[in-house]
Amino acid sequence: MKTIKQTGFILAAAMLTFACGQSGETVETTDAKEVAATEGQTLSIDNSATAISWKGYKPTGQHTGIIPVMDGTVAVDGGSITGGKITFDITALEVHDLEEGSEMHGKLTGHLQSDDFFDAANHPTATFEITSVEPFSADDVVADEEQYETENTPVAATELNTETPTHWISGNLTMRGTTKNIKFPATVNLNDGTVTAKAGFNIDRTEWGLSYQDESSVADKAKDKFIYNTVGVILDVKAN
């Protein structure tokens, strides 16, 4: 049985839970891993049918949006995924909880692309490259950890995970010039030359140097002067 501890931030609460747990949880994060040579047929990511959503939290509120996909591929051999890579456009990051064109929308969009967060001027793209895909066992669980409670405590990763995961996906996520390997449960389907993959999980933004108002540096959290380190991510990917 695989058990992965998680702690952290959220996104789109449309995913159902497959394990009980506390608030928070971020995916297992390790150093970058070698990408194996891919085999089989290469499918192209369908940008119009692929969505990468995010949700961030602070004690006094939440923000949501998407990061558009630029391009990508998925390699399939004998009914199994052998590799893949997706590139995201940080410069086109969108904020969806504020009215587009408003002063606050412009300020938040600019701030997220600034050096405080993604540093889009120097790192305009982010990438995710698959390093392994393993079957998900009925005995596999995600172990949750508690998090500082406020009115906007990040939703548990177990509530973001898909209801019936089929695989564990591991891959190198590169943002702001830093590459970390992450592992998360996903529901994957391969049918008639099409691959779909859905997943919901949390990451710790500070692992990639997005450390503005890092909650771990706040001595008195009761003052609510921090941003949760956990960010929720929901992937909905299609390749043809």
Q: Distance (Å, rounded) from C-alpha 17 to C-alpha 38?
A: 32
Beta-carbon contacts of residue 184 (< 8 Å; ≥ 6 apart): 27, 161, 168, 169, 199, 201
Instruction: Please report the pLDDT score of residue 12 as a whole number.
Output: 35
Kindly write down the DSSP assignment for every residue of 107-168, as one continuous string. HHHHHHHSTTTT-TTT--EEEEEEEEEEEPPTT-EEEE------TTPPPPHHHHS-SS--EE
Instruction: Please report the pLDDT score of residue 27 as a whole number.
Output: 79
- 58-103 per-position pLDDT tens digit: 999 999 999 999 999 999 998 899 999 999 999 999 999 999 999 9
Q: Would you say 128 and 173 are in contact if contact means Cβ atoms under 8 Å apart?
A: yes
Percent of residues, the chain, with pLDDT higher than 70 = 88
Instruction: Please report the pLDDT score of residue 25 as a whole number.
Output: 60
What's the predicted TM-score (pTM) here? Answer: 0.86
- Which of 79 and 219 is assigned the larger pLDDT? 79
Instruction: Please report the pLDDT score of residue 145 as a whole number.
Output: 65
- Which of 19 and 47 is assigned the larger pLDDT? 47
Instruction: Please report the pLDDT score of residue 10 as a whole number.
Output: 34
- Of the candidates 33, 56, 18, 48, the residue with the CA atom closest to the CA atom of residue 181: 33
Instruction: Please report the pLDDT score of residue 79 as a whole number.
Output: 85
Whether 143 shows a pLDDT value over 70: the answer reads no
Q: Would you say 15 and 160 are in contact if contact means Cβ atoms under 8 Å apart?
A: yes
- Which of 88 and 217 is assigned the larger pLDDT? 88
- 148-194 per-position pLDDT tens digit: 889 999 988 888 888 899 999 999 999 999 999 999 999 999 998 89
Whether 136 shows a pLDDT value over 80: the answer reads yes
Q: In which element (H, E) is residue 170 found?
A: strand 167-175
- Of the candidates 5, 12, 24, the residue with the CA atom closest to the CA atom of residue 215: 24
